[in-house]
Chain A
């Protein structure tokens, strides 16, 4: 059989290596090669999704080669209904980012495209790995290109932000490495699915809790869940536009993906304990939603606002997971099972929808910053007539972000709350308040301050509307928002099948 997953994984690497041998003066060729390879991976990712879709609940297209046999470590890839859309999202946002960067990144083009493709490979690797060591390897590799993307092409505070990003993530993940090794000594395997089936540390509450937290904190920092979110506003604000798109669009999902793929199936009892008995996790989720949204209200820097909105939106993912975890043990009852599946599928849907919406949002922030050289919300006003095209695109993205029915963001919130209300009604209630705040900051802060009111003709009279390449970057995202908003079934079925499989494996 054609090893399509390995090829998908290695295509960006091949592109990166090819870019390495192109002379740095030839920026045009470098851009073309970079975009071409990213597009190639997008085509492959689409094919993978189409292949997986009919039977999305099962791990498919598996490839397994021994890597370090003496330690039972394998090069093991596989996709199911959860990872296939995420791979598509990764390839799509990378392609759009590189396309957009072709006209906005003018310095050190060779390194930029090299690092970006390396970044894409590492992200694909995380979503494709079924071996924990491999997973960890890709998880860590991803830090280096992102760190340099922020550090070299970022804003004024880039050095501080890049180091903070690196140290935060690494500090979280090293304990995950110990937990991975611990799980291996318990179960004798690094295979994610087998290890979950073996329920490591099942009889030992203390050890299981330690392992649970080692994994959970690593992922919670990435998500990021309150109180581990403080690296995010800095990193996002300082990163170049495409860097923010990837950070918000995909890197955060790596954490959420780990929670769904590893933590929930491997430590269900602990997860349930820290959701119901000692409700730390729901508090984190609710705080992320409510606190994140409230902080958004107080921001005057457009990019920082969007960054904090990610904290709030990713809180829904955690909340959906909490709903599923709370239902463990009572999943035999059909109503509970449906609610848990709904919460979990909603969480997965939110991963995808948030990637598309916030990715688009960061592009839009970048587009206006390129022209105005400021992100100060108070500095704008009345741009609606000056840049009507941009205004309308922003409205659609903004409405998707606040969860307007008919756009992709609605379904994730709907399903998350449907699950949460069944098991953790108080958390669900507070979480719903977050939705209200979201509407407030999108309408009040973004729409009103930028687009409505008096236009300062002298200051903003020169602003031009979106160029063709900016439209070309944003339109695919708008189309996806609308299509999956009106007809979520293909995406939802895919997630639902995978989530049902995970839930059925739980005790």
Chain B
């Protein structure tokens, strides 16, 4: 009824090929893992997963240019494809970084990689979801996989505790979000985002705001924004470190994709004055509080995983600046920052994994003298931290430049000002790590070696940091094309 195109089965499969390839790769891994001898090391598992991701990435790139609906609840448009590309590249780095760690810590490797692929599938679905039901299902799919992955070290008390906390919190928030979605259905009789937008009228004014708040709670949970962030530090600290890397990036990509699509499609800001439910004011407050809170609390952390957890809360606050700008520049900024954040944060986590693989510690004080024990690793970690702080010529700087200019373009000087003040605050805790690495002498001279897979992950991440930081033009036009779908026509 909303201009649904008639697609043949072949066309549908073609448009869904990234998702189908991920599903296939996940199933193949499960099957191969089941039939191969139990005691074996199975170093080929991550390779199969990477091949699956690469195939999905190629399929996504081939689909570039399409802008059509699939199966009524999904959309195959540049925005969705861009989200998929970022998620696929990010997941590739996660898998490369997982290799040694997972082999050393868990017997269930096949399931691990299969779950990572399925979670990627969930993110891809969220990138294209145009129906609240689809949004909810994919959200739950992603959440449940995240809970399992968090508790993956089942003999480790902290891992299990983190998973339970995360699960209880997530279940509650998910129920609230579903409740909010039911309000929208009750108000408009539609679950399709475009349908909701068409049905909303002025006389719904008093009830739009509560419905919006309920749904926003779910989104805020996924991106780890205040006040729905409490799960993050515990889950990050307790989860196996590769999973922490995953949690800090992948659900955020999905969360922001959904936030943008739902809000800009169902509740476009230009019609909101008459409705009285301006989500921009709500998200502005969340943005300002989230970045300030995350940064201030991060200053007190002594464990690097916890520190990066709070830092990633703050980063979500920055990204929200782009969301509330609700302009083409703003959406471009969100996508750019997500890409920048993904490579940067995964690079930092890959370094943390490389460190803990050998040393077995996540305490910042143990990083003393890293520059001597592993010069390359130290350099890459510092580059990633500087990128998180937004120092040029890294990806983080270009991302912030776009976010702040999107805010200023919309006259949100105060929000941009809070953003830049926070960048300064953040330097003081990233500095703690840099101080340990470069300024504090090492207690031992023992070298830290990096496995080949991790070295590739680090290399990909740091290359990404510099490519986005120095040559952002290479991706900017694609990002703009993706952002335009909400504003043209």
Chain A residues with CB under 8 Å of chain B are: 24, 66-71, 111, 133, 136-137, 140-141, 143-144, 148, 151-152, 158-159, 162-163, 166-167, 170-171, 174-175, 177-178, 181-182, 184-185
Contacts and interface: CB of A to CB of B under 8 A. Distances in A.
B404 A67 contact: no
B391 A174 contact: no
Given A70-B480, A140-B392, A177 B401 contact: yes
A166 B439 contact: no
B338 to A, nearest CB: 18
A66 B471 CA distance: 11
B416 interface: yes
Interface string B371-399: 10001000000000010000111000100
5 contacts: A70-B476, A167-B427, A177-B404, A178-B416, A185-B409
Nearest to A70: B476
Contacts of B204: none
A158 B439 contact: yes
A146 to B, nearest CB: 12
A182 B392 CA distance: 19
A144 B480 contact: no
Contacts of A68: 472-473, 476
A152 B440 CA distance: 9
B386 A144 contact: yes
Given A137-B397, A170-B423, A184-B405, 6 more contacts: A68-B476, A133-B401, A144-B386, A159-B439, A171-B424, A181-B416
Contacts of B416: 178, 181
A136 B409 CA distance: 19
B428 interface: yes
Contacts of B371: 111
B168 interface: no
Contacts of A24: 375
Contacts of A136: 392
Given A70-B477, A177-B401, A185 B424 contact: no
Contacts of B427: 166-167, 170
Nearest to A143: B391
List of 5 A-B pairs having minimum Cβ-Cβ separation, nearest first: A174-B420, A137-B392, A181-B405, A171-B424, A151-B439
Nearest to B392: A137
Nearest to B402: A71
B392 A141 contact: yes
Contact of B404 (A151, A158, A159, A178): A178
A171 B427 CA distance: 10
A136 B398 CA distance: 12
B175 interface: no
A143 B401 CA distance: 18
Max chain B Cβ within 10 angstroms of own Cβ: one of A148, A151, A159, A170: A170
B238 to A, nearest CB: 31
Nearest to A171: B424
A24 B375 CA distance: 11
B431 A163 contact: yes
B439 A152 contact: yes
A254 B386 CA distance: 22
B433 to A, nearest CB: 13
A502 B375 CA distance: 47
Nearest to A207: B413
A178 B476 contact: no
A178 B417 contact: yes
Nearest to A24: B375
Contacts of A67: 473
A144 B391 contact: yes
B20 interface: no
A182 B409 CA distance: 8
B472 A178 contact: no
B438 interface: yes
Nearest to B383: A144
A389 B476 CA distance: 61
Max chain A Cβ within 10 angstroms of own Cβ: one of B427, B428, B435, B476: B427
A182 B410 CA distance: 11
B421 interface: yes
A133 B408 CA distance: 16
Interface string B445-475: 0000000000000000000000000001100
A182 B408 contact: yes
Nearest to B422: A174
A364 to B, nearest CB: 28
Interface in B306-347: none
B393 A137 contact: yes
Contact of A148 (B391, B438, B472, B477): B438
A171 B421 CA distance: 7
A174 B392 CA distance: 12
Nearest to A210: B413
B252 to A, nearest CB: 24
A72 to B, nearest CB: 11
A313 B127 CA distance: 59
Contact of A140 (B391, B420, B438, B480): B391
A174 B424 contact: yes
A66 B427 CA distance: 31
Contact of A141 (B391, B424, B428): B391
Contact of A69 (B386, B431, B435, B473): B473
Given A174-B423, A178-B404, A140 B409 contact: no
Given A70-B480, A166-B427, A175 B392 contact: no
Given A70-B477, A141-B391, A171-B424, A181 B435 contact: no
Nearest to A163: B431
Contacts of B472: 68
Nearest to B417: A178
Contacts of A170: 423-424, 427
Contacts of A66: 473
A396 B472 CA distance: 51
Contacts of B438: 148, 151-152
Contacts of B391: 140-141, 143-144
Max chain A Cβ within 10 angstroms of own Cβ: one of B375, B401, B416, B472: B401
Contacts of A167: 424, 427-428
A337 to B, nearest CB: 37
A69 B393 CA distance: 17
B439 A181 contact: no
Nearest to A154: B439
B205 to A, nearest CB: 33
A140 B397 contact: yes
B467 to A, nearest CB: 13
A177 B371 CA distance: 32
A181 B404 contact: yes
Contacts of A159: 435, 439
A125 to B, nearest CB: 10
Contacts of B420: 174-175, 177-178
Contact of A178 (B386, B413, B435, B439): B413
Contacts of A175: 417, 420
A414 to B, nearest CB: 39
A167 B375 CA distance: 25
A303 B480 CA distance: 53
B88 to A, nearest CB: 24
